[in-house]
Amino acid sequence: MTKIVVRELIWDAWNIEHIRKHRVTQDEVIVSIRNTAYHRHAHSGRYLSVGRSGKRIITVILRRKRATTYYLVTARDANKKERRDVYEKEKNQQNSKI
């Protein structure tokens, strides 16, 4: 799968308030996108990106607006399966360095 390139995020009052309800900050969203472990297509033409922000693993849902510009739909702590997938990917990367 081709890696999505996010150069700009579209923020508005709605999505800022929405991620706050999930106890996620704008900075955590930006860091997790930069540290994406994996992403995939999601429902309704959206993208699901899972990455690390410090010790947290954050799931971000994005909708593409232009080539490298995305609207942030929501962000939340990753669920158990998403966390497990990140741990597996990190483990495989460490093993490939040995």
Instruction: Give me the domains of the chain, ranges plus CATH numbers.
Output: 8-97 (3.10.450.530)
Burial state string for 61-90 with b = 16 or more CB within 10 A and e = fewer than 16? bbeeeeeeebbbbbbbebeeebbebbeeee
pLDDT at 85 (0 to 100): 96
pLDDT at 98 (0 to 100): 66
pLDDT at 1 (0 to 100): 61
CB 44 within 8 A of CB 71: no
pLDDT at 93 (0 to 100): 85
pLDDT at 3 (0 to 100): 81
The structure's pTM equals: 0.90
| C-beta neighbour count of 53 within 10 angstroms | 20
DSSP H helices, 1-98, are 13-21, 26-34, 80-97
Which residue type sits at 95?
N
pLDDT at 60 (0 to 100): 98
pLDDT along the chain (98 residues), means of 10: 88 98 98 95 94 97 96 98 95 81
